[in-house]
């Protein structure tokens, strides 16, 4: 999809569809819709519609007017963006995605957005529109034989005369890169296990890096064993598919020697649970267990194109988790790259094993700050549902930076504790630690396990299990992979560059 700015008055824009936002300024259940734009021509064109009650108080509904009075556009699409007092860049993203998803089935391939007034000005509004439109344009029906190409061909954003055109252009370019990169991550997650093996994931990573100018290695079993990555290898050993240790480096000229940011992703391309096998019901969704690794690849794509002035190294530990005669068993003892011994209690707690070696390896490569992302625990979904992802931090400064990134990205994370008392739940009587800690505090137990492999390095752990996959269609995003964490990672890295 192409995206560009046009300058002029929205009343004079000739287009298949002009998209505007409405907000509800009523209190509680009272519905008082008004446009989120101060433009006399738009207000006049939408006045009759807003007075009829067709624009209800339900957020992210879409209502279309044909041949709107006083406008050159063939259609006027009004998106209800929710309560006026809660209208922000994130609501704008959802509204823009809603518009694209409303128009696509009608075979409308082009539209023009009028950026509404939000905090941050026209640049922030342009960013929200473009990011939301790209997310809304993605559909997961890749392998349907009767698939119709419903993709939007182009969107335009009309900027009024006198607005900061240069700032809006910069915002658009950045938003397009971030939106495309989030969809790149979604494409990877959407692939079924037979089309997204660890080898194929390594090939896709290499191709992406070649496209955007990053250094990439996809290391195989011999190197993994040479590095003594016993935790990672213990998961991989049960599969006929070879694992891949994907290492991507971004080292821009003129960047300071420190910090070096390390992005570590869980890349389990299919998770059966191993010998501790999962129930059959819903196992087909376990192709998404590499969403953390895909988020890192999507973020690195954006970083390669945006060129922040900070060094970044990404590591994705890619493997399948399969039951076989070669697979590890409950009760086995594995030695991680760091030298720590691990008692395997449940082979379905495999994500923390691959991340343990990935985090330690990032430290050996000189990373001074670490972030990992993983669809790690169902316990985090039980705790937070599908509204917030979980986040853990061992350092207040890095957590403060992460919160600042969230303010820009609009993604929702909730901090969970890392009190040292929780370590007792993963203490082993035969080894240093166990890979599970019982029924209670499951997400925290997993984070405490990972904490053992970062030492004092400032570290953020994102448990994205609840948000990485949309279980149903929303008006602004399709059912399937969400690409969560890509935007936050990009904003976090950009914060160091600034």
Catalytic residue list: 278, 352
Dihedral in degrees, nearest 10, Cα atoms 294, 296, 301, 304: -170
For residue 362, the surrounding DSSP H or E stretch is: helix 351-364
Dihedral in degrees, nearest 10, Cα atoms 69, 75, 81, 84: -10
What number of CA atoms fall less than 13 Å from residue 314's CA on the CB side?
35
Residue 433 CB coordination number (10 Å):
20
Q: Are 478 and 135 in contact (CB under 8 A)?
A: no
Residue with token string 């922000």 = 88
What residues contact 368, with CB distance under 8 A and at least 6 apart? Answer: 258, 259, 260, 261, 262, 457, 458
Angle between helix axes 89-103 and 121-137 (nearest 10 degrees) is 40
* Helices within 53-142 (DSSP H only): 89-103, 121-137
Query: DSSP for 429-469?
Result: SSSSEES---STTHHHHHHHHHHTTTTTS-EEEEE-TTTSE
**Separation of alpha carbons 445 and 422, rounded Å:** 7
What residues contact 432, with CB distance under 8 A and at least 6 apart? Answer: 340, 341, 342, 452
Classify residue 81 as left (phi > 0), alpha (psi -120 to 50) or beta: alpha
């Amino acid at each position: 999809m192409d995206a560009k700015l046009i300058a002029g008055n929205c009343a004079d824009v000739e287009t298949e569809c002009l998209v505007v936002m409405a907000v509800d300024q009523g209190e509680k259940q009272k519905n008082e819709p008004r446009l989120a734009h101060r433009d006399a021509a738009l207000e006049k064109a939408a006045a009759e519609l807003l007075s009829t009650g067709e624009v209800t108080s339900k957020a992210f509904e879409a209502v279309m007017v044909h041949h709107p009075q006083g406008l050159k556009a063939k259609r006027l699409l009004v998106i209800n963006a929710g309560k006026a007092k809660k209208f922000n860049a994130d609501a704008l993203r959802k509204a823009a995605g809603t518009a694209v998803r409303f128009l696509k089935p009608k075979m409308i391939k082009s539209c023009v957005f009028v950026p509404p007034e939000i905090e941050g000005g026209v640049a922030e509004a342009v960013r929200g529109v473009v990011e939301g439109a790209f997310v809304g344009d993605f559909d997961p029906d890749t392998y349907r034989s009767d698939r119709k190409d419903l993709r939007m061909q182009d969107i335009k954003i009309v900027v009024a005369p006198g607005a900061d055109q240069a700032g809006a252009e910069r915002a658009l370019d950045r938003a397009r890169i971030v939106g495309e990169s989030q969809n790149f991550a979604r494409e990877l997650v959407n692939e079924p296990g037979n089309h997204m093996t660890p080898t194929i994931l390594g090939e896709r990573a290499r191709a992406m890096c070649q496209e955007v100018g990053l250094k990439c290695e996809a290391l195989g079993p011999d190197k993994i064993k040479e590095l003594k990555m016993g935790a990672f290898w213990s998961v991989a050993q049960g599969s006929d598919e070879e694992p891949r240790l994907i290492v991507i480096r971004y080292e821009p000229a003129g960047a300071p020697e420190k910090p070096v940011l390390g992005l570590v992703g869980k890349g389990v391309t299919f998770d059966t649970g191993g010998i501790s096998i999962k129930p059959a019901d819903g196992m087909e969704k376990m192709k998404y267990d590499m969403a953390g690794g895909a988020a890192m690849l999507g973020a690195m794509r954006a970083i390669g194109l945006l060129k922040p002035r900070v060094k970044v190294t990404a590591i994705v530990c890619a493997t399948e988790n399969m039951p076989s005669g070669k697979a590890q068993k409950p009760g086995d003892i594995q030695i991680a790259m760091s030298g720590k011994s691990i008692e395997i209690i449940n082979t379905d707690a495999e994500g923390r094993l691959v991340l343990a070696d990935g985090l330690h390896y990032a430290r050996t490569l000189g990373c001074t700050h670490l972030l990992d992302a993983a669809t790690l625990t169902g316990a985090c979904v039980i705790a937070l549902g599908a509204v917030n992802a979980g986040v853990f931090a061992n350092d207040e400064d890095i957590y403060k930076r992460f919160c600042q990134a969230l303010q820009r990205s609009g993604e929702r994370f909730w901090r969970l504790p890392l009190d040292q008392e929780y370590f007792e739940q993963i203490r082993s009587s035969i080894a240093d630690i166990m890979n599970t800690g019982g029924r209670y505090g499951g997400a925290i137990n997993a984070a405490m396990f990972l904490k053992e492999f970062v030492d004092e390095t400032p570290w953020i752990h994102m448990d994205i299990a609840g948000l990485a996959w949309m279980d149903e269609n929303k008006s602004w995003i399709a059912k399937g992979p969400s690409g969560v964490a890509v935007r936050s990672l990009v904003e976090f890295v950009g914060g160091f560059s600034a």
